Structure 1
């Protein structure tokens, strides 16, 4: 897929390139991005919301220094688990990283599976820049606890019906964010939003596996995370003062272990819950990916898949967009 402003073909080719690698969790995006970066003189910009947090390494399957193989990575370990990090801030930081990489004459590779992050960058979302208001959020959370999420959702429907129509009442965090934006601007969140194509030409490549194989990889990774010390990692975060209800701790693998450490479940039950929740998240990602247009898909099980992917990327970087279909024979 080539994303560019609606200019002449010549002007579009003058735009700097951005390669995006997408796919469900455990499909191999990180390793592929690193391998590709080594082959095309690139740097990786993470689009995984879990990679942002320092000290959350095992449960997020964050690449180690050895696994990075010297490839510079951006937007990894940028905030503490107790800090807020908004979508607007991610988009700003991602655009800055992409610009810096391009200025050095290297190729930015956006890699990850967080749908909001990917879309915010590739579609150029206009995101209301309203900073978090802890006092307002606590007030709204108290309302949700005392009167129920539906009451909070009704408040949103009264000031921003379009947002209420797309945000379920059960997603209290997003309901509060929409109310927070209205509270500070006096305007509905949906009125402030929009899209402005970013100043890149974009190639999107996707990795895909049959569901059964993906689930096997997920389950194997969960077992490896437990063996690597996930329980101790979560215990250490709690002992360092990270609240168990901090947004970062809602990441899959952390909330389940918190429940175990608090005596609410057994370790085998927590592990099974991690597997189940990761399977569900992979299905959610797959549903989102099916809606993405112009993705060039590759199955990592097939012989020669990476060589075909590399040929496609090199064709794109050479500016031969008309030859992309012939280069992509997957």
Structure 2
């Protein structure tokens, strides 16, 4: 029997945190953050990090495990989350992943192989020379000989993906198509619960949340990181942080920075929703501020059946 893992996904500000706590309380679960930015200490307000009060005693993982000066990759996330899933399962609890970072969650729950061993700078340079000398169709025809499925997907003018597909096969002996098939399989039995909200309502919630973040001290939080010389680090590239750098440098007004944050957050919500719709088999539930509690009860009842 594969270990069941509940994943709560959807766009920002839709109510994932609240639902995760209710599920954890009802089904003896422990929560793993699926947010790529909540791993950083000191990035609390801008990442909408769960508070001690909101946790209600439920153990949470993948929060505050990195200094803001450190990098953190998808592969790091995958390795850490798989370890936490094992730890939670050994305690007889249900692992619950909550977040909106689609690629990160996908990497943790499926056999996502990053093919690090396939990076061969010498061979890449040689393929780039072949591209210049013989043209893209020469490489495309070469790819089609051992990976016709991938050749059908990659346009000859997409030089980066073309070279990468050839390089992966020559270095690992596996085609990119084979890697992609493996990545559709999961070592777990994942149950995806998705929350969605009518766009106008969701965008209003996002705008209101950012106004509240500003009242809660977001500007001071970002300035603390900026003044510590972190503006070029990965932690400051996330939405909620990068928008204020031009303001601190005297290039824009504060209102422009806040407006940019709201716009970027709305766009990100749209991308999140599209990602989960296209990449994962999600059980979607549409909520509104007025129906969210009632809908949560429906989700809990449905989960009881899924968990047996």
TM-score tier after normalising by the smaller chain length: 0.7 to 0.9
The 2-side partners of 1:261 and 1:125 are apart by 39
State how 1:277-296 maps to structure 2 within 5 Å. Answer: 277-296=264-283
Pair 1:307-2:294 in alignment: no
Match of 2:248 in 1: 261
CA distance in 1, matches of 2:240, 2:2: 40
Aligned to 1:29: 16
CA contact 1:121–1:198 (8 Å) conserved in 2: no
The answer to whether the Cα contact below 8 Å between 2:110 and 2:187 also exists between their aligned partners in 1 is no
C-alpha contact 1:27 1:208 (8 A) present in aligned 2: yes
Q: Does 1:18 align with 2:5?
A: yes
> Is the contact between residue 127 and residue 192 of structure 1 (CA under 8 Å) also seen in structure 2?
no
1:200 pairs with 2:184: no
Q: Is the 8 A contact 1:126 1:192 kept in 2?
A: no
8 A Cα contact 1:234 1:257, kept in partner? yes
Unaligned ranges ≥5, structure 2:
122-131, 144-149
Distance in 1 (CA, whole Å) between partners of 2:64 and 2:154 is 35
Coordinate RMSD, CA, aligned: 3.4
Aligned residues: 277
Q: Could you tell me which residue of structure 2 aligns to residue 109 of structure 1?
A: 96
**Separation (CA, whole Å) in 1 of partners of 2:283 and 2:273:** 15
3-state SS of 1:310 partner:
helix
* Inter-partner Cα distance in structure 2 for 1:293 and 1:81: 30
1:229 is aligned to 2:217:
yes
Query: Equivalent residue for 2:72?
Result: 85
User: Secondary structure of 2:211's partner?
Assistant: helix
Deviation at 1:238, TM superposition (A): 2.0
Return the TM-score normalized by structure 2: 0.79
How far 1:81 sits from its partner (Å)?
Answer: 1.6
For the pair 1:44 / 2:34, whether they are aligned, the reply is no
What are the Cα deviations for residues 67-96 of structure 1, in whole angstroms up to 9, with x where unaligned?
111111111111112211111111111111
Q: Is the 8 A contact 1:128 1:189 kept in 2?
A: no
Contact 2:10 2:99 in 1 (8 A): yes
TM-score by structure 1 length?
A: 0.74
TM-aligned CA deviation for residue 17 of structure 1? 1.0
Q: Alpha-carbon deviations, 1:139-171, whole Å to 9, x = none?
A: xxxxxxxxxxxx9xx99xx899879959x99xx
User: For residue 217 of structure 1, what is the aligned residue in structure 2?
Assistant: 205
